[in-house]
Structure 1
Amino acid sequence: MKSLFIMTASLIGLVVTVGCGGNDYAQSNAQQDQGPSQNSIAAKPTSSSQGELNSDRLDNWHQWRGPNANGLAPKGNPPLQWDEETNVKWKVEIPGTGSATPIVWGNQLFLLTAVKTDQKPNAVAQPADTTGDRSGGGGSQRGRFRMSTPTPTTFYEFVILCLDRETGKTIWQKVAHKEVPHEGHHPSHGYASASPTTDGQYLYASFGSRGLFCYNLQGDLQWKRDLGNMRTRIGFGEGTSPVLHGNSLIVNWDHEGDSFIACLDAKTGKDKWRVPRDESTTWATPLVVEHDGVTQVVTNARNRTRSYDLETGKLMWECGGQAGHPIPSPVTL
């Protein structure tokens, strides 16, 4: 019987530079990916869609951690050195703030950002009393270091940007939502932290408590979903990214309230299934893998690491949980 090996990996970002320089890195990793050894990989990350898109995704960076969700670009040819003056093709200023990784499909680069405005609502809701509450929505503090920023009192615009990959010019820009966030976030974090994903036809963007949105690649809204407000641990903010596989969009919703994992119909945004989870806040993005002909959704969390059947949501296996603040996403070896 084959075995499934899963491990966690640290968060990384994507640096966009001019496509020149040596290809030692890409060749080295291509050699490592030629096939499993007798004691290595027994499961493989699945693609986000079928047919021609299976091949196209390897030429792009269509989701968090790239085409195979492991941080590698199988067909990449990046420069080995860069700085402010070397191997930089273009640089543009982005409004607002965000820590979501940009994604790339063809000549389009997509990214999310949250833009603070000076506009105030007619009545500002007072932050809940979080004394003794792990959520810390009003801005938790440890010693002199503030663990989370104060709850905002002004509107933020939650923006999706599409840039030209060759020039950096804006192709289109959409305000997906406008709202006063209900809690703060870690000082190094932000309100645009989930990386978008695409199958080359539609773009899926999550702003967490502000909603989940589907656009076509021309910038036309197809559908949106409101999954409610998260209450994050110590007010650290939100960060898990949606994962696309075929016509299934997986969203993990672990927080200090009623946690769940859901599989949505990618065409309509409606639930295919939803499973409650006995978990507090996590920031890890699920991993979709195939093993013995079954497609699984693997989640990293505090209490248990679990695998769900993509088709039904049925729990397939579980093992011991991870650290107190589960951030790393699972990867296959």
Structure 2
Amino acid sequence: MVKLRKGTAHVHEAGRHGVERQCRALVALHPRVSPALRLILIVAFAIGIAASTIAEDWTGFRGDGSGITAADLPTQWSPEEGIAWQSDIPGYGQSSPVVWKTHVYVTSSEGPFQQDCQVHAFELQTGKKLWTSHIEATTKVENYFRNSRAAPTCCVDANGVYSFFASGDVTAMSHDGLTRWTTPVIKTYGEVDNERGVASSLAQTDDHLFVLVDHHGPSYLIAINKHDGEIAWKADRGTRVPSWSSPVVAKFGGRDIVITSSADTVDAYDAATGDSLWQHDGLQGNHIPSASVVGDEVFVGSTTMYGGATDEEATAGSNCCIKLTSDGGNPGYEVRWGAQRANSYYSTPLAFAGYVYYVNKIGVLYCIDQATGEQRFARRIGNPCWASAVGITRTDGEQLVYFVLKNGFTIILRPGNEYDQVARNQLYDTRAMMDAREAAEKQRKANAVPADQASPKTGPEKVFAGMPESQLHQMFSYGDPMVYGVAVANDRLLVRTGQHLFCVCE
């Protein structure tokens, strides 16, 4: 089902041309302008062009891995106004949307053992579903609401969309939904001993996809050739603490580097060869939040969690900033700072406009000075974020941070030393929430694993195995609808819940 509202188009060339005209006018008024002033004008012109270049694509988890983009997003909307469209997503999924030109892609799964893995394409302008392609899972994974269900986010490029599922199947499809190849990673390298399933998203370069699997057994990072699905290299990581964070690619010193923040270490690998470049250990709690890369800085998120990290001071210090370095062409790193109180939970930290933002599991937002690591403020924003925050630069140069909370509200802040809230917007009303809750419950019942086929729970999940589902929902705030991920492209904010995709634009 698609619910469509009329949107408004924007002409972004006006902002660029306006800056250009102002710079030329100043030079014309001052024909003997000094080289220093001329340089300032050129920089101002370049900044104006950069700010007015609206991003058309959102190619992977958190876009390019930074969560930063250029867009003219609205600052006010409600269930009655500003929602351009919403579309139903078959099955259930926890991945974020990705965007390539006119297409939006999301994934989901169905069946008691998530045996039906699905990739869906929607039209960005209208929300019309263009196609659904099905992948038969090569490894069974229980369709249990505390398991990962189609949680890994896709990657997309000019050749198509690349998906990864809890079953371990990595698949390449054309933009028309035709399967080019499928690589069964878990079937190839062995079952995953991870009580919550696989949730790590794909990362990419022009040539390769990167898959991270950290669990109680032999863990690894692999690179897959985009053109044929063959394994390019495999980096063994030993037996690890189960983790669900995603790799991210940094460009530094003329090469692509794969950064993994997972299972109590941060590691760097050569993206072309898989060679280990360095490892930073001694961290605690970096099992869920992924690393965020901005320029030559890597921002690490960590959290206390059941069955894992419990030392709050050590965990706070593990929310840190790592600077990429080079010594005679040899890649290295230095730790610039560790936060004193900040804490991430599901969402990845956002470094933007001179600040780094972390949201913990009870919805406290921490703002840290990007240069020093000093805390600027801490504020309860009402709900935790499972979707990672996005930093936006508008064509007029204004910068804003969008926090889409788990319950569908969006907090918009103006970056600064103090909490400066611009707006708080609601995505769906009470009736829509009740409908979504009923649809999710119906989906869970239809996909329930028969009692005689359910595998025994291990680790922390063994404690919860005998509890009623309703009690678990209340304990862990798992009530649908939940916002799992967002994307920004072509002046549109895309918000994904388990069974719906929303588009917000002016």
User: Fold conserved (TM > 0.5)?
Assistant: yes
Taking every aligned residue pair, what percent have the same amino acid on both sides? Answer: 23
TM-score, normalised by the number of residues in structure 2: 0.45
Aligned equivalent of 2:196 = 236
Q: CA deviation at 1:205?
A: 0.3
- For residues 247 and 148 of structure 2, what CA distance do their matches in structure 1 show? 20
- For residues 237 and 181 of structure 1, what CA distance do their matches in structure 2 show? 11
* Mapped pair 1:246 → 2:206: yes
Aligned equivalent of 2:81 = 86
Q: Secondary structure at the residue paired with 2:167?
A: helix
- Structure 1 contact 300–322 (Cα < 8 Å) conserved: no
Aligned equivalent of 2:150 = 192
- For residues 54 and 209 of structure 2, what CA distance do their matches in structure 1 show? 17
Q: Secondary structure at the residue paired with 1:223?
A: strand
Letter aligned with residue 86 of structure 1: E
- For residues 259 and 216 of structure 1, what CA distance do their matches in structure 2 show? 30
Residues 89/262 of structure 1: CA separation in 2 closer, same or farther (3 Å cut): same
Residues 322/181 of structure 1: CA separation in 2 closer, same or farther (3 Å cut): farther
Q: CA deviation at 1:58?
A: 3.8
Aligned equivalent of 1:309 = 270
Q: CA deviation at 1:65?
A: 0.2
- Structure 1 contact 281–325 (Cα < 8 Å) conserved: no
Q: 2:162 pairs with 204, 216, 223, which one?
A: 204
Aligned equivalent of 1:267 = 227
Q: 1:109 pairs with 104, 110, 117, which one?
A: 104
Residues 179/260 of structure 1: CA separation in 2 closer, same or farther (3 Å cut): closer
Q: Secondary structure at the residue paired with 2:262?
A: coil
1 or 2, which has the higher strand percentage?
Answer: 2
Aligned equivalent of 1:256 = 216
- For residues 171 and 184 of structure 1, what CA distance do their matches in structure 2 show? 26
Q: CA deviation at 1:244?
A: 1.3
- For residues 180 and 277 of structure 1, what CA distance do their matches in structure 2 show? 22
* Mapped pair 1:161 → 2:120: yes
RMSD: 2.8
Q: CA deviation at 1:262?
A: 0.6
Give 5+ residue unaligned stretches, structure 1.
Answer: 1-16, 28-55, 117-151
Q: CA deviation at 1:185?
A: 5.1
Residues 57/291 of structure 1: CA separation in 2 closer, same or farther (3 Å cut): farther
Q: CA deviation at 1:297?
A: 0.6
Aligned equivalent of 1:174 = 133
Structure (1 or 2) with the larger CA radius of gyration: 2
Residues 18/210 of structure 1: CA separation in 2 closer, same or farther (3 Å cut): farther
Aligned residues: 247
Aligned equivalent of 1:61 = 58
Letter aligned with residue 242 of structure 1: L
* Mapped pair 1:218 → 2:214: no
- For residues 114 and 162 of structure 1, what CA distance do their matches in structure 2 show? 14
Letter aligned with residue 129 of structure 2: T
Q: Secondary structure at the residue paired with 1:264?
A: strand
- For residues 221 and 265 of structure 1, what CA distance do their matches in structure 2 show? 15
TM-score, normalised by the number of residues in structure 1: 0.67
1 or 2, which has the higher helix percentage?
Answer: 2
Q: CA deviation at 1:83?
A: 2.2
Aligned equivalent of 1:297 = 258
Residues 170/285 of structure 1: CA separation in 2 closer, same or farther (3 Å cut): same
- Structure 1 contact 290–296 (Cα < 8 Å) conserved: yes
Alignment of 1:5-16 (within 5 A): none
Q: CA deviation at 1:20?
A: 6.0
